[in-house]
Amino acid sequence: APPRLSLICDGRVLERYILEAKEAENVTMGCAEGCSLSENITVPDTKVNFYAWKRMEVGQQAIEVWQGLALLSEAVLRGQALLANSSQPSETLQLHMDKAVSGLRSLTSLLRALGAQKEAISPPDTASAAPLRTFTVDTLCKLFRIYSNFLRGKLKLYTGEACRRGDR
Amino acid sequence: PPPNLPDPKFESKAALLGTRGPEELLCFTERLEDLVCFWEEAASPGVGSNNYSFSYQLEGEPWKPCRLHQAPTARGAVRFWCSLPTADTSSFVPLELLVTVASSGALRYHRIIHVNEVVLLDAPVGLLARLADEGGHVVLRWLPPPGAPMTTHIRYEVDVSAGNGAGGAQRVEILEGRTECVLSNLRGRTRYTFAVRARMAEPSFGGFWSAWSEPVSLLT
Amino acid sequence: PPPNLPDPKFESKAALLGTRGPEELLCFTERLEDLVCFWEEAASPGVGSNNYSFSYQLEGEPWKPCRLHQAPTARGAVRFWCSLPTADTSSFVPLELLVTVASSGALRYHRIIHVNEVVLLDAPVGLLARLADEGGHVVLRWLPPPGAPMTTHIRYEVDVSAGNGAGGAQRVEILEGRTECVLSNLRGRTRYTFAVRARMAEPSFGGFWSAWSEPVSLLT
C-alpha cells in the first residue's frame, strides 16, 4: 500500500477527529441562547441502519461518505461564517468551529488518498444510486451533533472497511 | 426480538441491566439491528400493557407507536417491553422515546438515545487457556459473541482468579479487535480460573459489559 | 498564537529550530491546531514586516495573506513571523507558503509543508526517578507535554548521564505512548542525571524533538 493509505488506517488519527467532534457536540449540548443560526443549513443524513448498510454496494457507501463529507464541510464553513457575523460570537464556539473546518479539510484529504472519491464516482450502476438524503439544521448544537454522528458513523465504518480491503 | 413469553436470554440481559436502576426505562441492542426497551414495576391488579402507550421518533421522521408486551419477572414484578422493527433501529441518529399513561396522557418516561450507544452483546464463547511452551506464560484465546456485529470494534476484559480465592481477582483490558492475550505474571502451581466479557468500543459505540463467558481453569 | 512582543516560549522554540538553518523559512505546530512560520535575518535599518508579503494556500483553495510580525531576537538579528488561523491549520493537506519582497514581488521563500509533519511539542513534565525495590534498577516516569495532542502518538527519548561526566551520555528510545522506562544497566554508587524529550511518531506525524525536560538526578 502507498504510505498515504496508512495514515487514516491508523485508527488513532481518525479517533482524534472523532473526539474533537464529540467535544464540540458536548460543549454545545446544553446551549439554547447564542446557539441558534440565523438561517437553515443543509447537512447530510448521518443515520446508519446496519441491516441496510451491510447490504449496500461499496460504491453507494462511498457516495454516502464522500458526498456527505463535502456537504458537511460546506455546512460547517457556512456555520463558521454565520457565527463570525453574529453579534457576540463566543470564543469557545468559534474555536470549535475553526477546528471543525480544519478537521473536515484533513479528513477530506485523507479519504481522497484512501480512494473514496474514485469509488464514489465509479460504481457499476451509477444510475441506480440513491440520491443523498439531507436535512436542515437551525442551531449550532444540531450542527455539531451531525458532525459528531457523521464521523463516528458512516465515516468510521467506511474507513474501517476500506482499510481492510486495502490490506488484502 | 423477544416473544410475548418470557425468554431466558432476554430475562438474563434485562436482569443484568435492571440492577442499574429499577423503575427506569432501559434499552439495549444486541446486534445493532434490533432494539428492545423495557421497564419494570410492582405488579398491580388490572394494570397491563394496554394502560401505557409507547411511541418513538427517529430525528426527521414521524412519531410511530411501538406495541407493548408484558411478562412477570423472576423477582415477582412485571416487566413491560417493546421491540422496534429493524428498519427503525438506526444508529448515529437521536431516537426519542416516549411512554405515557394511556388513559390520562400523563408522561411516564421520556428519553433520547442513540442505538449505537446502548449495545449489550452476548458473552464471548470458546474460551481456551493453555500453558505456553516456555516461560510459564498462560495463553488465552476466545471467540467474539456469536452473531455479533463489527467484531473489529469489540473490546474485551479478562478476569483472572486464583482458585484458592487468595490474592483476589485481577482484570486485564484487551485492545479492540483482539481475541487473545498472554498472561505472564501468574504464580506457579496454582489453579487459576479465567473468564472474558465483551463490549463495543468507544468512541463510535457505547453500551454495557456483556455477561461473563463460561469460565475455564488451569493449573500453572 | 504568539503576540507581537517576543514570547519567551516562542523564542526558545524558534531558537531550538533556528540552530538548524539560519536564513531559512521554518514552521512548527505545537498542538496541531496552530502553525507559526518564521525566518531570521540580520537587522537592517528601514527593513520591517511591511517589506515582505506572506501568503499561503491549502490545496484546492484560494491563496490567503498572513500578517507578518517582527521582533528582535536574542542574538541581535530580527525575526519575522506569521501565525495561521486555527481553521487553516489542517493536517494531511499540502500547504504552500510564499514570501515575496513587497516592493519588487521578488521571491524570498517558497515551501510546501504538511502541518502534521512539523510538530514541535513542549517538553515532557513531572519526571521522577526512583530505585526499584530489587535488582538495582532505576525506574523513570514522566508525563506527556501539557496540552499535547494524541498522547498515544508521542514517543520519547531518555538521556542518561553519569554525574561525574565519565562514560558520556546514553540515549534510550521509548516506544510511542509509553511514559516510563526501567534502566537496568547502570553502575552502582554513581550519581546519574536523567532528562526526557518528546516528538510525534512517524509515519502519521513528523517534526522535531522537543526541548529536554527538567532534569532529575539520583544516586544508585
> Do residues B102 and B67 lie in contact, with contact meaning Cβ atoms separated by under 8 Å?
no
**End-to-end Cα spacing for chain C:** 43
In the predicted model, is pLDDT for residue A71 greater than 90? Answer: yes
- Which of A4, A105, A112 to mutate to probe the C interface, most C CBs <10 Å? A105
Whether A50 sits inside 8 A of B91 (CB atoms) is yes
With CA atoms as reference, the chain A residue closest to B91 would be A48
Which among A7, A102, A113 is the nearest to C204, CB-wise?
A7
Q: ∠ CA(C32), CA(C115), CA(C180), 5° rounding? A: 50
- Extract the C-alpha cell encoding C143: 508525563
Q: Does A127 touch chain B (CB under 8 A)?
A: no
Going from the C-alpha of C213 to that of each of C32, C141, C142, C152, the distances in angstroms are: 21, 12, 9, 19
**End-to-end Cα spacing for chain A:** 10
Identity (one letter) of the amino acid at B147?
G
DSSP string, B135-168: TT-EEEEEEPPTT-S-GGGEEEEEEEEETTSTT-
Instruction: Tell me how far the alpha carbon of residue C61 is from its chain's centroid.
Output: 28
Average confidence (pLDDT) over C104-109 = 94
Between CA C57 and CA C67 the distance in angstroms is 14
Residues in A 30-69 with any Cβ partner in C closer than 8 A: none
> Do residues B136 and B185 lie in contact, with contact meaning Cβ atoms separated by under 8 Å?
no
> To the nearest whole angstrom, how far is the Cα of A49 from the nearest Cα of chain C?
31
ipTM higher than the 0.90 cut = no
With CA atoms as reference, the chain B residue closest to A45 would be B93
> To the nearest whole angstrom, how far is the Cα of C172 from the nearest Cα of chain A?
25
Percent of chain A at pLDDT exceeding 90 = 61
| Nearest C-alpha neighbor of C172 from the set C203, C134, C204, C129 | C129
With CA atoms as reference, the chain B residue closest to A147 would be B92
For the entire predicted model, the pTM comes to 0.88
Whether A48 sits inside 8 A of B94 (CB atoms) is no
Name subunits touching C (3+ CB pairs < 8 A). Answer: A
Between CA B212 and CA A85 the distance in angstroms is 55
> Do residues C197 and C124 lie in contact, with contact meaning Cβ atoms separated by under 8 Å?
yes
Whether B86 sits inside 8 A of A22 (CB atoms) is no
Structure confidence by residue, pLDDT tens digits, B135-189: 779 999 999 999 898 999 999 999 999 876 655 678 999 988 999 999 988 888 8
Percent of chain C at pLDDT exceeding 90 = 65
Whether C86 sits inside 8 A of A105 (CB atoms) is no
Per-residue pLDDT, C165: 62
Place of cell 464541510: A73
Percent of chain C at pLDDT exceeding 70 = 93
In the predicted model, is pLDDT for residue C3 greater than 90? Answer: no
Per-residue pLDDT, A128: 56
Digitized pLDDT (tens) for each residue of chain B, 220 residues in all:
444 555 778 888 888 887 666 678 999 999 999 999 999 998 888 888 889 999 999 998 999 999 999 988 877 889 999 999 999 999 999 999 999 999 999 999 999 999 999 999 999 999 999 998 877 799 999 999 998 989 999 999 999 998 766 556 789 999 889 999 999 888 888 899 999 999 999 999 999 999 999 999 999 8
